[in-house]
Amino acid sequence: MGCGRASHTDHAALPEVVDYNFHIRPILSDRCYACHGPDANARQADLRLDEESTAKQTKLISGGYAIVPGNLKKSRLYSRIHSEDAEFQMPPPESNLSLSDHEIAMIARWIDQGAEWKPHWSFLVPTYSDLPTVEQSDWPNNAIDYFILSNLEQQGFTPSPEATRSTILRRVTLDLTGLPPTLEQLDAFLSDTSSNAYEKVVDRLLDSPAYGEHMASAWLDIARYADTHGYQNDRDRYVWPWRDWVVSAYNQNLPFNEFGTWQLAGDLLPGATLEQRLATTFNRNHRQTNEGGSIEEEFRTEYVADRVNTLGTAFMGLTLECARCHDHKYDPITQGNYYGLFAFFNSVDESGQTSHFTDAVPVPAMDLPNPDQEDELDRLAREIKAAERAVLDLTEASRARFESWSPSVPPGFQSSPILQCEFESLNGEILQCNGNKRGEAVFSPTVVPGHTGNAMAFDGESGFLFTDVQEFERTTPFSVSIWINPGEETGLIIHRTQAALDAGSRGWELALDRGHLVAQLAHMWPENSVRIQTTATVPLEDWTHVAMTYDGSSRASGLRLYIDGLPAEVEVIRDGLTRHITYDTMEVPLQIGYRFRDSGLRDGAVDELELYDRVLYGFEVARLAGNLDAPLDSEDMFRWYLAHEVVPWQRSHVILQDLREEENTLLKGIPEIMVMQEMHAPRVAHVLERGQYDALGAQVEAHTPEAILPLPDDLPRNRLGLAEWLFSPVHPLTARVAVNRHWQKYFGTGIVSTPEDFGRQGALPSFPELLDYLATTFIESGWDIKAMQRLIVTSATYRQRSEPTAELLAFDPGNEQLARGPRLRLSAEMIRDQALAVSGLLDQTLGGPPVKPYQPEGLWEEKSGIQYDQSSGRDLYRRTLYTFFKRTSPPPSLITFDMPTRAQCVLRRQRTATPMQALVLLNDPQYVEAARHLSARMLKEGTLEGQIELGFRALTGRSPTPPETQTLKALYREQFELFSRNPESARQLLEIGESPLEQGSNLAQWAAHTMIASTLLSFDESIEKY
């Protein structure tokens, strides 16, 4: 068993009634479950202590039962934890998991009282509690206060008085908008004597655009948002429109169930809008690699696992990741449950590696046109549809005339190939082809006997490249004819791509895949591509003629494959090409026989290549394959007839091709963003042994952990069904976890102090009835986020003074009982935004691309060799939410103030106070420049006392005390004297930052005031809410 005895004595009083959830389960979970919990692979002595039936009814190997309700002597659990015998005691003393005497006594009393078992508290549906009765009935402002006050009264304490009006205005303004109140707002509130003055302020703040920006900051931590992919190269990614959507969603007060559903499964909603699809970028915010040599499936598996882990942390407060490699050791989540959730996110047509050689957005992706571009796309879509209809109508109208048409001579080749190579010999390293076109040999291909004359053989690394051959777009018809003698079943024949995974396979290719002939065009593999493959295989070690033709339609139906001159039956693998297949920033040659970091035509040979800038007809392919007497196919002849004899059809076809090229060009200028999109057929999911991508275990269907809430039969087994399950009114976790995060935002610590873990190893709620009240209220309100914020900040609990009395400090040093108001360090974003706001520098433009404010030189170059191009003008003073976030080199001043690296989902930040933070506030150009501009505001006041008063009030919300004023006056005089003696130092200080220095100012005076402002910016009260 897994419990033991401590050597020390704990005399803390035992509760009158021992509760399993609040007193016993935490002990068992912490000390026993590792060996006697849910994980069957780690279980010892075949004993489970996490389930009532097994703990009470399983006969032990040594005889008897672990727990016999009401009978300590027969309860082997008690005898083992109470034993002084090191051989008998559990857990063994060397485990360092021994129980204290108090914990042993607690278990003893619980067994004596009948060992009543209860399901884990957070796995029970939240229930509405009646408000407790209180003696100080005039204190509560709303329901929250009854729960807090009742608890305080039971312990003989009373709440703290309400904070001053200036303090509470600063507190609520910072909490709801992340910005301090202006002096005008402060004065207006202080002069407002109406009974609902505070409530009016709250409503104004909730309606402010700054509210959504501030709320979004915490959600970006949860969503692991960044502006780069991460890993070694850490390339930029285009995801800021999703960040702006989050801001908008909060400002519009999108209900939380919709806010979550759209992000998890917005693409699956009936008639999904662009906004709902955009929301699903949430699932794609994880890190992504573009490192060459990566195992694609390994990283794709990591991406799916990240989504599962984020689901668990963000919405359910569970450590699901603990069940990836084995059953969860503490919570009732099996490894099968984990991969049941994995299956919901497994059917996205994505690659585990992003493109290194292009800037292609990892697929699936969605176009984000601006209004003008959207109008153009709509116009082109209509015109292309009409042109396709015109071509189709003319095609059908021409059939009757074709039946009576007969050519005077059989059709022949209408044009010469743009590239024709016979592979007879090499002139050094050069292959001479038609029209003075030259192929450059790579790693020495060899001359061998061919189908006709000689041919060229390859070893998988060797081949030819051509730089002077026409490039084909997805709108360009073309054809390839070549003889091959493959030595292996898989290999590249001919292609125009830079690489496979390293370039997202952008370009076109003709290849063999396990013996099947494959034709592919791709913008970004796999989703934005077309790919077909033959159902038949090509023989090895024999000459075979193969050909592909493409009609420029961007559709799989526009691709055809031929084997030995005959049309081949094909299977469509992908059919989603919507963007260009050429490269924007590099020249990519035509290549034969090899490809960078890929399998070339190993032990194979090629002969008689012909490349055309049009679609070959079947009879042409047959002749190229040597079938000179092949009968003319009627449909083939009809296509020839349309292209050569029906002038209206020819004109319509040209119009269609021109429109397609216009659309293709337009799309090149329209950004894309990663979104979720289901594959047509779900990908099969398996339990992965030890969590390894290639260790496939039992096949699993999409399902949810039954111990939490079974997935109803009427819900679809996809992400939309998962979201409906998650936001079910009877889901035990979702609402609790959400309101706990909101509570944490205002009080620093959640009602459950481990917001990411509501499981058995997590903390117990400090106010369980209040947590359930908030959860049920949240659901009943329609998941109204703003209403929940309003409820919390209008409570008397929130409005208390934060300064503790000596008695309160002794009773509750951590303010867990909330007998006083919150006092917390501001977040990194709030500290910077406050400095910009009080200085008058802040640019409050809403949304837009990320900006790059000041940071020390060389940090990016050291990490990834990329230069940091600092922004200029107003972009230097945008809200911190919009600062460019590079995963491998996050903004240093923000990280110093405990901003997470966003490598994974984070529900609570660390809170530290370090010397480095003071150095940032005193030396970072952003803060020095802010101090200069704040001091310029201060200098507009007539007296030194008035100047100090303005700066102090702007930052703290209150006037300075006389001693504080005297200290700052003395600092001013000292600094003024210093700068008067050294005017160059004053100039150097005032020239920090890009904003221009006003001419004609008294530099010594301005510099001295800048030092006062700098001191105020780093003052404890300035960087705290209190």
Position with higher pLDDT, 794 vs 598: 794
Q: Of 545-549, 633-637, 708-712, which range is least confident?
A: 633-637
pLDDT band at 6 (very low <50, low <70, confident <90, very high): very low
**Predicted confidence (pLDDT) per residue in 725-776, tens digit:** 999 999 999 999 999 999 999 999 999 999 999 999 999 999 999 999 999 9
> Among candidates 164, 176, 169, which has minimal Cα distance to 198?
169
Q: How confident is the model at residue 630 (pLDDT cuts 50, 70, 90)?
A: confident
What is the dihedral angle through the alpha carbons of 976, 978, 983, 986, rounded to the nearest 10 degrees? -70
Q: How many CA atoms lie within 13 A of 376 on its CB side?
A: 16
Cβ-contact 59, 66 below 8 angstroms: no
Neighbours of 191 (CB within 10 A): 8
In which band, very low, low, confident or very high, does the pLDDT at 12 lie, cut at 50, 70 and 90? Answer: low
How far is 1015 from 935, CA to CA, in rounded Å? 11
**Is the per-residue pLDDT at 318 higher than 60?**
yes
Which tokens go with 846? 């809403």
Tokens encoding 133: 């009765």
Q: Which long-range contacts (CB under 8 A, 24 or more apart) does 698-701 make?
A: 698/336, 700/336, 700/339, 700/340, 700/342, 700/343, 701/340, 701/343
Q: Is the pLDDT of residue 430 over 60?
A: yes
Closest by alpha carbon to 238, among 365, 377, 356?
Answer: 365
Q: Which residue has the higher pLDDT, 74 or 615?
A: 615
Q: What is the pLDDT of residue 3?
A: 37
- Show Cβ contacts of residue 119 under 8 Å, excluding neighbours closer than 6 positions: none
CA distance linking residue 308 with residue 310, whole number of Å: 5
Identify the helix (H) or strand (E) that includes residue 430: strand 430-432
pLDDT of 409: 64
- Backbone φ, ψ for residue 696 (5° rounding): -75, 125
The answer to whether residue 10 scores a pLDDT higher than 80 is no
Mean pLDDT of 212-233: 97
Half-sphere exposure for 502 (CA within 13 Å, toward CB)? 13
Burial class (CB in 10 A: 0-12, 13-18, 19+), 84: exposed
Angle at 358 between CA 353 and CA 364, to 5 degrees: 55
Mean pLDDT computed over 707-718: 97
- Residues 554/660, Cβ–Cβ less than 8 Å: yes
> Could you tell me what percent of the chain has a pLDDT over 90?
87
Mean pLDDT of all residues belonging to the chain: 95
DSSP E strand boundaries for 795-944? 824-825
Cα 817 from Cα 39, distance rounded (Å): 36
Instruction: Please check whether residue 5 is in contact with residue 297, taking contact to mean a CB–CB distance below 8 angstroms.
Output: no
Measured between its terminal Cα atoms, the distance across the chain in Å is 48
| Residue of 604, 283, 590 whose CA lies nearest to 461 | 604
Q: What is the 3-state secondary structure (H, E, C) of 245-262?
A: HHHHHHHCCCCHHHHHHH
Question: For residue 83, what pLDDT band results from cuts at 50, 70 and 90?
Answer: confident
Is pLDDT at 4 greater than 50 in this prediction?
no
Cis before residue 209, ω within 30 degrees of 0?
A: no
pTM for this entry: 0.93
Buried b (16+ CB within 10 A) or exposed e, 194-231: eeeebeebbeebbebbbbbbbbbbbbbbbbbbbbbbbb
Cα 499-504-505 angle, rounded to 5 deg: 50
Please give the single-letter amino acid code of residue 405. Answer: W
Which range among 5-9, 61-65, 846-850 has the greatest average pLDDT? Answer: 846-850
pLDDT at res. 9: 38
The pLDDT assigned to 5 comes to: 38
Distance CA 671, CA 360 (A): 10
141: pLDDT strictly greater than 50: yes
User: pLDDT over 70 for what percent of the chain?
Assistant: 98
Summarize pLDDT for 182-211 with one digit per residue, the tens. Answer: 999 999 999 999 999 999 999 999 999 999
CATH number of this structure's domain 419-631, picked from the four choices 3.40.50.12780, 3.30.70.520, 2.60.120.200, 3.40.50.10320:
2.60.120.200
Provide the pLDDT for residue 2: 37
Q: Averaged over 815-819, what is the pLDDT? A: 96
Question: How many Å apart are CA 213 and CA 248, to the nearest integer?
Answer: 8
Q: Is 533 helix (H, G, I), strand (E, B) or coil?
A: strand
Residue among 504, 499, 495 at smallest CA distance from 524: 504
Distance CA 610, CA 483 (A): 10
CB 905 within 8 A of CB 283: no
Q: What residues does each domain of the chain span?
A: 20-118, 122-162+733-822, 419-631, 923-1025
What confidence score (pLDDT) does residue 57 get? 86
CA distance linking residue 111 with residue 20, whole number of Å: 10
pLDDT single digits (tens) 856-897: 999 999 988 899 999 999 999 999 999 999 999 999 999 999
Q: What is the pLDDT of residues 406-422, one digit of tens each?
A: 876 667 776 789 999 99
Q: What is the DSSP string of 628-642?
A: TTPPPPHHHHHHHHH
